[in-house]
A = this chain, B = another copy of it.
Amino acid sequence: MSGYDIKKLVEMGLSHFWNENYGNLYPTLESLVETGLATRQADPDSGKRKRNIYQITEAGHLAFQEWLSRPTDPPAIRNELQLKFFLSSTQPKKVSLRIVREYRVQQQALLAEYQQSAALLRRAIDAGEYPEEVEEILGQHAARRSASHKAKQYKVFLLSLRHGILAIQARITWCDEVLSELSTK
């Protein structure tokens, strides 16, 4: 796919666990080509508009598999909202409460979004019919996918989303616990 496509894929499908920006993306693709892990070719279908299609190479596949098998260290976390909540212990109770209420509103909105996407995917998997709007995101980097590969792809996509949903639900549960804990006493 192209750099632009990758950006779209990440934005529309992976935003609950990843983000990417052009300033990082294009130089990275460049270096992949330089090191022989990918090839670049101008898209012939795009006329005058320049559009580069990147293909993973054999060496790229190996490097990818090696990366997949490498142990992953947990991300360094900096949750500003949690920091504020912790430090609000020096302030009147209502300050802590306001922080948590704001958090809850944020998370609730996200949850609605994710649940809608999940429902779409769930229907697609159950029906075995893959909707265009998802195919546009998932399909473009693998023109010829077998039915079983497609099925696995959708299943994994849904499970990724499921991770986001469970995480958010846990946060909302926390908000509710805090709210009742702090307001009753």
User: Residues on A close to B: CB < 8 A?
Assistant: 14, 16-19, 64-65, 67-69, 71-72, 74-91, 93, 95-96, 98-99, 102-103, 106, 142, 149, 152-153, 155-157, 159-160, 162-163, 166-167, 169-171, 173-174, 177-178, 181-182
Q: Smallest Cβ distance from A163 to chain B, in angstroms?
A: 5
Bound complex: CA A77 to CA B19 (Å): 7
Copies in the complex: 2
Query: Are B79 and A17 in touch, CB under 8 angstroms?
Result: yes
Query: Are A173 and B166 in touch, CB under 8 angstroms?
Result: yes
Bound complex: CA A163 to CA B82 (Å): 9
Chain B residues contacting A80 (CB-CB under 8 Å) are 72, 75
Query: Are B159 and A78 in touch, CB under 8 angstroms?
Result: no
Given contacts A159-B178, A169-B170, contact A87 B102 (CB under 8 A): no
Bound complex: CA A83 to CA B70 (Å): 13
Given contacts A83-B17, A170-B167, contact A177 B159 (CB under 8 A): yes
